[in-house]
Structures are given as C-alpha cells and as structure tokens.
Amino acid sequence: MSGLGKKFRLPEAFDQAVPGEYRMLPCRFVSLDDNRYVLTNEVGEYLVVTRPQLEQFVRKTVPFHGDFYHDLKSKHFLIDDDSNVAVDLLALKYRTKAQRISQFTALHLFVVSLRCDYTCQYCQVSRQTDDKLAYDMSQETADRALEFVFRSPSPAVKIEFQGGEPLLNFPIIRYVVDQAKRINENHDKYIQFVITTNLSLLTDEILSFCLAHDICLSTSLDGPQDLHNLNRPRPGRNGYQLTVEGIKKAQAVLGRDKVGALMTTTEASLPRVREIIDTYLSLGMDAIFLRALSPYGFAVKTRQAYKYDVDRWFEFYKEGLNYVLEINRQGYPFVELYASMIINKIFSPFGTGYVDLQSPSGMAISAIVYNYDGDIYASDEARMLAEMGDKSFRLGSVHHDSYEDVILSDTVLDTLEATLSESLPMCNDCGFLSYCGTDPVYHYATQGDAVGHKATSGFCSKNMKIFRYLFTLLEDDPEARRILLSWVRP
Ligand code: SF4
C-alpha cells in the first residue's frame, strides 16, 4: 500500500466534495461525428454533446441551474450536494442490467444431428451428408444433456434444436420435449422450444407435435428464389420452394408469430438487400436479422467468409435498415433485429440476452451447446471452430463431466475473465461499451486470442459503425427515432 501511495492518491482524495462544486460520476465518451460526442455512463444512459459542452463538463465549469447541468445530473453523470440518493440509484440500475448474469444459462442448444440434406457453401456447421447415422444424438446423450439443462439457475430456459438438419433426427426432438416437460414437473421452469430447420422435411405430423407443445420454428431464408437457391443449394434445386411452402404451412398451423427466419449475407446478397427484405414482407414476416457471415466452418473452407469486408457489409446493412425504416413510415411495423437489440440495450433497463452483446461474454452463461456426441461447447461458434479441428472452447462432455466440472472449468472462467469489456484494452475507454459485448471465439478465430485487438477487429469495426449510425438517427431524424423507440420492449 505504501508503494501504491507513491503513485496514486488515496481513495479519499477522489471522494471529497468541494462545497458548491459537482463531482463527476464514472463515464466514457466517443466521437459521433466531427462536432459531437456520445457521453455514456455505466448503466448505458447517454447524452450527445458538443465538444465545448464536453470540455465544460470535465473542467467542472457547467453553470448550475442550466438545462445542460440538469441533463447531466438527471442522467447520473454528476452529483452535487443535493444528490444524496444518486449513487444508490445508479447502483440499482447497474444491478438490474447485470441481473441476467446470476440467472445463467437461458439458452441450451441441442445439436441433434450433423446430417443435412443441403450443401450450402457458407454453411457454418460443417454438415455431414444425410446418410451418416453416426452423427445423430442418442437418447442417452439427450438424457445427460437434460440433466445439465435443469441444473441451470435460470428460471426460464429455451431448448433449441439445431443441426445439420434437426428434423433428420425428429425422434430425438420428440423425446427431449417429452422428457423436458416431465422433468420440469419438479422444477417449474418456464420452458420454450425452438427447432432451427430448413423446413424441407416438415410434415403434418411434425407440425401437429409443434402445435401441441407450443414449439417455434426458425428457418433460413436468404432472399428471392435465385439468391436463396444460389446461397443454399439443395439437390433438386428446390430449396426456396420447400422453404416458402414450409413457412406458409407452419404459419397457418402454428401462427405467424411462431415462425421466424434468419438470413445470411453472401457476396451475392450485397446489392440486393431491398429484394431480400421484400421477400420477408411477402411472407407476412414482421422482422429480419441482417447478419454478416461468420468466419467458421464451410464459410472458411470455401472462403465465402472473406469475400467482402466490414465497410461493404455496413453499406448493405445501412441500406437495409433505411429501407426497414421506410417500410415503417408507410405504416407497416417491421423490425431489424440487430438494431432492435442495440436500441433495447440503450433504452431498456434490462438490456438483451443476445450472446454477442454481453460483458462478460455470453459463452456458457447465456448459451451452451450440447453436440450430437455429448461434447459441450461454449457457444455455437465454438462448436463450428471445433468442427474445423480446433477444440479450444470445448468445455467437456455430458458423459464424462459433471455440471460443476463444466461451468467452473478453466475454459469458462478464464474466458469470462478475459471478456469483461470494462477491463479490455480500447473497450474500457469506449463510449459504446455499455451497448457492446465481446465475442471471444470470433477474436480467437480471426486474431488468435480471445481478447482480440479491437483497433483491427471486424467485430469492433462493425459495431462501432452501427452504434454511430443509430445514434445519428436518434439525434437527427425524429421520425426514425420514433420508430426505433417503438422497438423497445416493455
Ligand atoms: S468492441 Fe469496439 S465498439 Fe465494442 S466496446 Fe470495444 S472498442 Fe467499443
């Protein structure tokens, strides 16, 4: 302590109020454009300020009783002699935002088969051809995985069936749903089920089962017919037709709100974002998630992941988001899901559970993956990396390891420690920190370590561009602001 004292002033030196002067609370700032800065605090409240205002604030020369002073005070950027509950209030808001960390793990992914009837070039799961039964999950593996599910403290769990094509192993889906409901009679968790499927194998029997058990379907739809079939080739070249027929049939039986779709952006998608969104609209969908390709699995083997850079992808995203706003202006409520998650991080006291926008990383504590063979991975991306031969983020096996072995493994704890944005180089100073997250597998795959060098990171660059664009819309376009705020969940 005496050694520290030589370099640093004692804590009390920072806590002494000078009568009549305000004290700054922890905050960060980042440039929005040439003239403005986004000033944020630990709980994600923000003010957009000019450079003179920012200088005034940090020099503690903001005049009392002016609007700017009141804005800073009400949003917890400063306290003064009258603000005796402000720090407690700030702490309460921080606890509310961080609450989900104590309620891990909400999302449990069951990879019930690696087999697939498609041969997508960008496939991120390194599928097997559809006759290799050795790549199916067994009942024994499913039972062990369910034990892990019910050890999770989270009062709400979502079990998502993935592949390959999970409907190629529908008997195990049926088994897991029945078993989970039976086990839950003693746990009383709120359980949801989702099947992520290309819909080509959808039958009336499967739909009846989904209806009976309130199961949602999530599919892949990359846009109009030629683009979808180019991105997602299937023997017979009828992938689009089967997907669209499946969506319509599932919507009719389960309801529109039970059927969602995801798209992936390939090089061929870049000039066609409006057509892609129009395809979603034509099917009565109310949302789209404009997603870039991830550098894993077949996307790397076929080099699809490297065919466009972040700048080109952002132009695609911006055009798409602007089109989504235009659709809303015309009276049709339609959501872009990535923007919606960020907007919720900015304006909702609860934030979002989206794995890539968490600090520490959501791996294992937001989502966990049980592979067909019982291996456990920290995230879906970690499994994709393993399929490429790198098992750095394998956490263990449902067959050989206990829940404690897995959740308290060095891989989980070291990665969580290494992904607290508040302590990461560049992130710790970034004004967007409260809205951002970390993606250890992405940074490991692209830069060789889980922390990553943010100045050259595609993840950081993409998020920075989106944050700046959203704040510009919020500040400069009242109609866009109204629409974006309508996406905040109560
Ligand atoms: S990844 Fe980039 S945008 Fe996100 S908090 Fe870190 S520095 Fe900011």
| Shared-domain flag, residues 220 and 364 | yes
Please give the pLDDT value at position 460: 95
CB of 451 shorter than 6 A to ligand 1: no
DSSP character string of 6-54: HHS--GGGGSPPPTT--EEPSEEEEE-SSSEEEEEETT--EEEEEHHHH
The domain boundary residue, chosen from 48, 74, 98? 98
| Shared-domain flag, residues 293 and 438 | no
Within-domain flag for 490: no
CB 222 within 8 A of CB 288: no
| Shared-domain flag, residues 155 and 137 | yes
Q: How many domains does the chain contain in total?
A: 3
Within-domain flag for 129: yes
CA 4 to the chain's CA centroid: 40
CB of 421 shorter than 6 A to ligand 1: yes
The domain boundary residue, chosen from 63, 98, 133? 98
| Shared-domain flag, residues 362 and 443 | no
Q: Sort strands 394-397 and 375-377 into parallel, antiparallel or unpaired.
A: antiparallel
Within-domain flag for 485: no
CA 331 – ligand 1 centroid, Å: 34
Within-domain flag for 33: yes
Task: Show the tokens assigned to 287.
Answer: 């949302």
| Shared-domain flag, residues 376 and 322 | yes
CB of 298 shorter than 6 A to ligand 1: no
Mutate to test the pocket of ligand 1, among 341, 443, 463, 468 (most ligand atoms within 8 A of CB): 463
CA 174 – ligand 1 centroid, Å: 42
The domain boundary residue, chosen from 358, 376, 407? 407
| Shared-domain flag, residues 402 and 427 | no
> The domain that contains 243 carries what CATH number?
3.20.20.70
Task: Give, for all 490 residues of the chain, the pLDDT tens digit.
Answer: 445 556 677 766 665 556 568 899 999 999 999 999 999 999 999 999 999 999 999 999 999 889 999 999 999 999 988 777 778 888 888 888 888 788 889 999 999 998 887 666 655 455 555 556 678 999 999 999 999 999 999 999 999 999 889 999 999 999 999 999 999 999 999 999 999 999 989 999 999 999 999 999 999 999 999 999 998 887 777 889 999 999 999 999 999 999 999 998 999 999 999 999 999 999 999 999 999 887 665 555 555 556 678 999 999 999 999 999 999 999 999 999 999 999 999 998 877 778 888 899 888 888 999 999 999 998 888 888 888 788 999 999 999 999 999 999 999 999 899 899 999 999 999 999 999 998 888 888 888 888 989 999 999 999 999 999 999 999 999 999 999 999 998 7
Please give the pLDDT value at position 2: 47
SS3 323: helix
Provide the domain limits for residue 37.
25-98
Ligand 1 atom, smallest distance to 433 CA: 5
CA 306 – ligand 1 centroid, Å: 22
| Shared-domain flag, residues 174 and 254 | yes
Dihedral (CA of 148, 153, 155, 161) sign: negative
